[in-house]
């Protein structure tokens, strides 16, 4: 102890302490950060994706959204829309836009999922926004369909109809049929509010709420939806039912009437 | 009759039963008078039967449904066999409809038969009514029966609307809300009436039980009475028939009620039941289980009433949403009030037409021969124009589905309907009248020159002519059997003393309308025997 107290005023003491501190920090860092190499790789993969995404962006998107995603008179700014918005818009074929109109319709997808992810990475790098959700967020198997139905009727049915068969909005805009939309895309749509749809962020509909809504749609408007009453006539309600009653029901019955009228008793010739 | 029993041989068992019944019910006289009642054969005369049979089917299935339905607005939390509604708050009415659909044996099938039969019932009534209209079968002595039929149609719509509302699902609840809005739209009395009907603020606890009474008791009771009266009058008046050889205004040519029509009608009943049941078994109607229970804070797009109320929906949708706040602070909602005032005009226009026509023709005779629609062009044109009027409203009622399925703008459709409501019926009227006149000309041509045979003949001097085959005598009779009215004469402007004769506005209008109906522009004169002889005598060919 004495030696230490004698030499603590030594001119080189500060240097020694500094060296020891550096060595300790370095040692600790070397010990506790074994993932160093992987981190660096991922980060370079990320920047690679951003680079690739940027190239795709310059070719496919920049003419409307601007070279830096800042937007133009032909398309909105993409700063802050997030990866989820890109994954939805490009992943459902809505982007790249076919033609200007009331609303971008769903159409065949132009990019592979890898390219979409690269585009998403680039757009996400422009500003913070909703990321792509994890499977556990949107998996319909984990949702409560009954609760989701109630939420759907409160928040979504005004535009999308009782079971998400779609509906009309003003001036040619529309809320699309949700049959056949993947759960992931539904989740992303709620998070990002594409086209004319409002945004439903976490403060409005929590992750669980969204998952429940997806579970409801999976129950009533998907390939596995049961139709206990028979063929569902598109789920459009009284208009298609009335049309069916006239065109099939009444026409059949009038046909039967003609048949009965044509088969009459013949007077017996004697 | 008792005296018919011959004392020389013992009466058989059947005779004894018949005798017993006759002594108490007077069946023999009734049967004797009606068993051999003659009915003419034509498919369009069976449209009324479709109505009758679907009505019977509705009553039968409806009775079954009342056994399980609970017309109550008491709330509960559903815990039943339909998973996607578990844990949801709902009324007993909705929950019991879910039970009928999923737990009651045959419940869903019966519910669907009931609902499909209702849609078809009202559609069949509409077609039946149009048949009567276009063939002029509403003329004397059948005006009262026409009104009975019309009332049945109106009551059918009321029964349908109240029945559609009973399950208290989100779709029908929106309709009930619509109705409340319409009632509240009436100035002064609206709010009071709404409070009275709903037993307080919307939705209240009373509307479903009240609709239940109206739906299962009041309206069907009146309908049943009217239906019996309607049928008695059909028997009393005898059925109309189309013109043809041997058929006159004083006879009915056809088959007797027993056994021919009893067999046909009985078989037809089962055919109607069968067709409706097949439809109900294969095609969903009103899947209330996915619609959810009614809650005033929820609403869905695509919320329409059943088809027969579609025209009222259309009038509301096409009407601009004007409203005034008058200085007293009250709101007058023209967006609802005006459609509500006009809504009665459309059905009343067709209901009163028979009285208008009899006033116009001044004809007091009975008519038992049905008109061919082409032979009364103005009436036919009025009927088709009326249908187009209703159809415009129907398009308006489904404007959202037209928009999504034809990729149109809902605003453009609404504007199309707003303009079409006024413009389309006159255009349709004009076109229909032209078509009728064209068909009359063709009939005239056929009678005078025969049917085109398709054989081209070259005459010795080189002219080509087409050989026309003369019609059969019967066919010519059928084509010329109709009677043509002459237009009313205006009468002299001055009377025999040279004094200016007063001619009322009504009389002038009537004269003018009569000219429109029966003047040169309103009908093609049917060929006369002289014309026919002149044409067929040889020298007047073509």
Nearest by CB: A242 against B102, B310, B409: B310
Whether the per-residue pLDDT at B4 is higher than 70: the answer is no
Residues A117, A157 within the same domain: no
* Closest A-chain CA to B46: A257
Query: Among the listed ranges B200-214, B372-386, B488-502, which one has the minimum average pLDDT value?
Result: B488-502
Asked if B87 lies within 8 A of A244 by C-beta distance, the reply is no
pLDDT tens digits, residue range B418-437? Answer: 999 999 999 999 999 999 99
Nearest partner of B110 among B269, B277, B270, judged by Cα: B277
To the nearest whole Å, the CA of B335 is away from the closest chain A CA by 19
Asked if A168 lies within 8 A of B399 by C-beta distance, the reply is yes
Instruction: Flag whether residue A197 sits within 8 Å of chain B, measured between CB atoms.
Output: no
Asked if A153 lies within 8 A of B298 by C-beta distance, the reply is yes
What's the confidence (pLDDT) of residue B535? 82
Residue A225 in any domain: the answer is yes
CA B68 to chain centre: 32
Q: Across residues B155-159, what is the average pLDDT?
A: 96
Domain boundaries, chain B: 11-40, 41-301, 448-537
Asked if B85 lies within 8 A of A243 by C-beta distance, the reply is no
What's the confidence (pLDDT) of residue B533? 87
Contacts of A179 in chain B (CB under 8 A): none
- For CA atoms B300, B302, B307, B308, the dihedral sign is positive
What's the confidence (pLDDT) of residue A7? 76
Whether the per-residue pLDDT at B216 is higher than 90: the answer is yes
Q: How large is the C-alpha radius of gyration of chain B?
A: 29
Nearest partner of A161 among B167, B168, B310, B171, judged by Cα: B171
Contact B120, B92 (CB under 8 A): no
Residue A81 in any domain: the answer is yes
* Pair type for strands B323-325 and B331-333: antiparallel
Which of A131, A164, A183 terminates a domain? The answer is A131
Asked if B49 lies within 8 A of A257 by C-beta distance, the reply is yes
What's the confidence (pLDDT) of residue B540? 45
Whether the per-residue pLDDT at A186 is higher than 80: the answer is yes
pLDDT tens digits, residue range B288-297? Answer: 999 999 999 9
Nearest by CB: A242 against B287, B297, B306: B306
Asked if B42 lies within 8 A of A261 by C-beta distance, the reply is yes
Residues A36, A120 within the same domain: yes
What's the confidence (pLDDT) of residue B534? 86
Residues A10, A59 within the same domain: yes
Tell me, what DSSP letter sits at residue B500? B
Whether the per-residue pLDDT at A37 is higher than 60: the answer is no
Residue A268 in any domain: the answer is no
With cut-offs at 50, 70 and 90, classify the pLDDT of residue B260: confident
pLDDT tens digits, residue range B264-279? Answer: 999 999 999 999 999 9
Q: Across residues B240-262, what is the average pLDDT?
A: 88
To the nearest whole Å, the CA of B54 is away from the closest chain A CA by 11
Q: Which tokens sit at A270?
A: 């004697």
Top residue of A253, A259, A262 to mutate, by most chain B CBs within 10 Å, is A253
To the nearest whole Å, the CA of B331 is away from the closest chain A CA by 26
Residues A180, A91 within the same domain: no
Residue A259 in any domain: the answer is no
With cut-offs at 50, 70 and 90, classify the pLDDT of residue B6: low
- For CA atoms A70, A76, A82, A86, the dihedral sign is negative
Residues A231, A116 within the same domain: no
Whether the per-residue pLDDT at A268 is higher than 70: the answer is no
Asked if A241 lies within 8 A of B411 by C-beta distance, the reply is no
Nearest by CB: A256 against B44, B271, B279: B271
Residue A221 in any domain: the answer is yes
Q: Residue A206 belongs to a domain with what CATH number?
A: 1.10.760
Distance CA(A221)–CA(A225), nearest Å, equals: 6
DSSP per residue over B155-220, as a string? HHHHHHHHHHHTT-BHHHHHHHHHHHHHHHTSTTTHHHHHHHHHTSSSSTTTHHHHHHHIIIIIHH
With cut-offs at 50, 70 and 90, classify the pLDDT of residue A36: low
Residues A126, A196 within the same domain: no
With cut-offs at 50, 70 and 90, classify the pLDDT of residue A270: low
Contact A124, A54 (CB under 8 A): no
Residues A138, A64 within the same domain: no
Residue A241 in any domain: the answer is yes
With cut-offs at 50, 70 and 90, classify the pLDDT of residue B36: confident
Distance CA(B416)–CA(B395), nearest Å, equals: 10
Share of chain A above pLDDT 70, in %: 94
CA B368 to chain centre: 20
To the nearest whole Å, the CA of A221 is away from the closest chain B CA by 10
pLDDT tens digits, residue range A103-123? Answer: 899 999 999 999 999 999 999
Share of chain B above pLDDT 70, in %: 98
Contact B46, B268 (CB under 8 A): yes
Residue A265 in any domain: the answer is no
Nearest by CB: B398 against A147, A174, A239: A239
What's the confidence (pLDDT) of residue A267? 59
Asked if B260 lies within 8 A of A220 by C-beta distance, the reply is no
Contacts of A244 in chain B (CB under 8 A): 279, 283
Query: Among the listed ranges A42-51, A93-102, B340-349, which one has the minimum average pLDDT value?
Result: A42-51
Distance CA(B445)–CA(B449), nearest Å, equals: 6
What's the confidence (pLDDT) of residue B154? 97
What's the confidence (pLDDT) of residue A132? 92
Top residue of A101, A141, A145, A162 to mutate, by most chain B CBs within 10 Å, is A162
Q: List Cβ neighbours of B323 (8 Å cut-off, separation of 6 or more).
A: B331, B332, B333, B334, B335
Q: Across residues A147-176, what is the average pLDDT?
A: 94
The rounded mean pLDDT for chain A is 89
pTM metric for this prediction: 0.89
Query: Among the listed ranges A30-34, A118-122, B151-155, B518-522, which one has the minimum average pLDDT value?
Result: A30-34
Cα distances from A152 to residues A157, A184, A220, B304, B373, in angstroms, run 6, 17, 12, 19, 52
Domain interval for residue A56: 1-131
Contact A50, A123 (CB under 8 A): no
Which of A101, A131, A161 terminates a domain? The answer is A131
Domain count of the fold of chain A: 2
pLDDT tens digits, residue range B463-513? Answer: 998 888 888 999 999 999 999 999 888 777 777 777 877 778 888 899 999
The 3-state secondary structure of A154-196, one letter per residue? HHCHHHHCCCCCCEECHHHCEECCCCCCCHHHHHHHHHHCCCC
The rounded mean pLDDT for chain B is 91
With cut-offs at 50, 70 and 90, classify the pLDDT of residue B1: very low
To the nearest whole Å, the CA of B387 is away from the closest chain A CA by 15
CB contacts under 8 A, A 104-143 vs B, are: none
Whether the per-residue pLDDT at B59 is higher than 90: the answer is yes
Share of chain B above pLDDT 90, in %: 70
Share of chain A above pLDDT 90, in %: 67
Asked if A230 lies within 8 A of B283 by C-beta distance, the reply is yes
pLDDT tens digits, residue range B527-539? Answer: 988 888 888 776 5
CB contacts under 8 A, A 50-89 vs B, are: none
Residue A270 in any domain: the answer is no
What's the confidence (pLDDT) of residue B342? 86
Q: Across residues A48-58, what is the average pLDDT?
A: 90
Sequence ranges of the binding site of A for heme c: 61, 64-65, 156, 159-160
CATH entry 1.20.1080.10 includes domain B41-301: no
Which of A69, A96, A131 terminates a domain? The answer is A131
Contact B182, B189 (CB under 8 A): no
Nearest by CB: B410 against A170, A256, A265: A170
Whether the per-residue pLDDT at A91 is higher than 50: the answer is yes
Residues A160, A127 within the same domain: no
Cα distances from B112 to residues A16, A97, A147, B59, B67, in angstroms, run 92, 44, 27, 13, 16
Asked if A162 lies within 8 A of B300 by C-beta distance, the reply is yes
Contact A61, A116 (CB under 8 A): no
Contacts of A157 in chain B (CB under 8 A): 170, 298-301
* Pair type for strands B369-370 and A167-168: unpaired
Asked if A250 lies within 8 A of B170 by C-beta distance, the reply is no
Residues A126, A156 within the same domain: no
């Amino acid at each position: 102890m004495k030696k230490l107290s004698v030499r603590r005023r030594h001119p080189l003491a500060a240097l020694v302490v500094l060296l020891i501190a550096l060595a300790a920090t370095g040692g600790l860092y070397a010990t506790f950060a074994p993932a160093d190499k992987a981190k660096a790789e991922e980060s370079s993969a990320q920047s690679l994706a951003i680079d690739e995404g940027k190239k795709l962006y310059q070719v496919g998107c920049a003419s409307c959204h601007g070279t830096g995603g800042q937007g133009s008179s032909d398309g909105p700014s993409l700063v802050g829309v997030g990866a989820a918005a890109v994954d939805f818009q490009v992943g459902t074929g809505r982007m790249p836009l076919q033609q200007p109109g009331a609303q971008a319709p769903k159409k065949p997808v132009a990019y592979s999922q890898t390219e979409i992810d690269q585009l998403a990475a680039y757009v996400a790098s422009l500003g913070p926004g909703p990321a792509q959700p994890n499977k556990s967020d949107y998996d319909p198997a984990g949702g409560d369909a009954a609760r989701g139905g109630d939420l759907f009727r409160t928040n979504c049915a005004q535009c999308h109809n009782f079971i998400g068969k779609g509906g009309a909005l003003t001036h040619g805009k529309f809320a699309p049929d949700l049959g056949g939309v993947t759960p992931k895309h539904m989740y992303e749509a709620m998070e990002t509010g594409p086209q004319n749809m409002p945004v439903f962020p976490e403060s409005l509909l929590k992750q669980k709420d969204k998952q429940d809504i997806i579970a409801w749609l999976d129950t009533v408007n998907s390939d596995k939806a049961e139709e206990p009453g028979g063929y569902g006539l598109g789920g459009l309600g009284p208009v298609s039912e009335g049309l069916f009653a006239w065109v099939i029901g009444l026409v059949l019955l009038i046909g039967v009437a003609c048949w009965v009228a044509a088969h009459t008793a013949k007077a017996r010739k004697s | 009759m008792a005296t018919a029993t011959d004392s020389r041989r013992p009466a058989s068992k059947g005779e004894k039963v018949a005798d017993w019944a006759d002594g108490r019910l007077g069946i023999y006289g009734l049967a004797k008078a009606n068993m051999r009642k003659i009915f003419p054969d034509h498919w369009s005369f069976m449209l009324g039967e479709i109505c009758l049979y679907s009505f019977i089917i509705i009553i039968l299935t409806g009775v079954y449904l009342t056994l399980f339905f609970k017309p109550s607005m008491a709330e509960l939390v559903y815990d039943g066999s339909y998973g996607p509604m578990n844990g949801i708050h709902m009324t007993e009415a909705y929950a019991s409809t879910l039970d009928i659909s999923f737990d009651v044996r045959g419940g869903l099938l019966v519910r669907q038969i009931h609902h499909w039969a209702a849609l078809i019932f009202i559609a069949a009534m509409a077609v039946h009514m149009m048949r009567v209209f276009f063939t002029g079968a509403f003329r004397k002595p059948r005006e009262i029966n026409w009104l009975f039929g019309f009332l049945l149609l109106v009551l059918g719509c009321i029964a349908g609307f109240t029945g559609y509302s009973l399950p208290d699902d989100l779709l029908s609840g929106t309709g009930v809300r619509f109705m409340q809005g319409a009632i509240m739209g009436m100035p002064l009395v609206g709010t009071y009436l709404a409070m009275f009907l709903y037993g307080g603020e919307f939705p209240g606890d009373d509307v479903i039980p009240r609709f239940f009474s109206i739906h299962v008791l009041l309206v069907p009771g009146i309908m049943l009475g009217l239906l019996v009266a309607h049928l008695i009058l059909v028997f009393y008046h005898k059925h109309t028939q189309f013109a043809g050889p041997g058929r006159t205004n004083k006879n009915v040519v056809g088959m007797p009620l027993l056994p021919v029509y009893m067999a046909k009608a009985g078989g037809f009943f089962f055919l109607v039941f069968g067709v409706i049941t097949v439809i109900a078994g294969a095609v969903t109607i009103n899947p209330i289980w996915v619609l959810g229970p009614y809650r005033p804070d929820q609403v869905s797009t695509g919320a329409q009433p059943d088809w027969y109320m579609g025209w009222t929906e259309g009038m509301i949708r096409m009407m601009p949403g004007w409203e005034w706040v008058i200085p007293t602070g009250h709101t007058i909602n023209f967006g609802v009030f005006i459609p509500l005032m006009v809504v009665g005009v459309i059905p009343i226009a067709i209901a009163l037409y028979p009285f208008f026509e009899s006033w116009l023709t001044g004809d007091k005779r009975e008519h038992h021969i049905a008109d061919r629609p082409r032979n009364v062009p103005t009436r036919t044109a009025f009927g088709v124009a009326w249908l187009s009027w209703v159809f415009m409203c129907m398009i308006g009622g489904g404007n959202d589905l037209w928009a999504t399925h034809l990729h149109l703008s809902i605003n453009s459709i609404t504007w199309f309907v707003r303009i079409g409501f006024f413009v389309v019926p006159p255009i349709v009227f004009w076109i229909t009248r032209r078509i009728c006149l064209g068909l009359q000309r063709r009939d005239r041509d056929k009678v005078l020159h025969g049917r085109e045979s398709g054989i081209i003949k070259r005459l010795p001097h080189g002219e080509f002519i087409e050989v026309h085959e003369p019609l059969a005598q019967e066919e010519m009779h059928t084509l010329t059997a109709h009677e043509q009215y002459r237009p009313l004469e205006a009468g002299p402007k001055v009377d025999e003393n040279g004094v200016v004769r007063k001619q009322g506005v009504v009389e002038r209008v009537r004269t003018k309308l009569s000219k429109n109906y029966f003047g040169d522009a309103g009908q093609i004169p049917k060929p006369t025997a002289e014309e026919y002889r002149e044409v067929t005598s040889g020298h007047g060919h073509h």
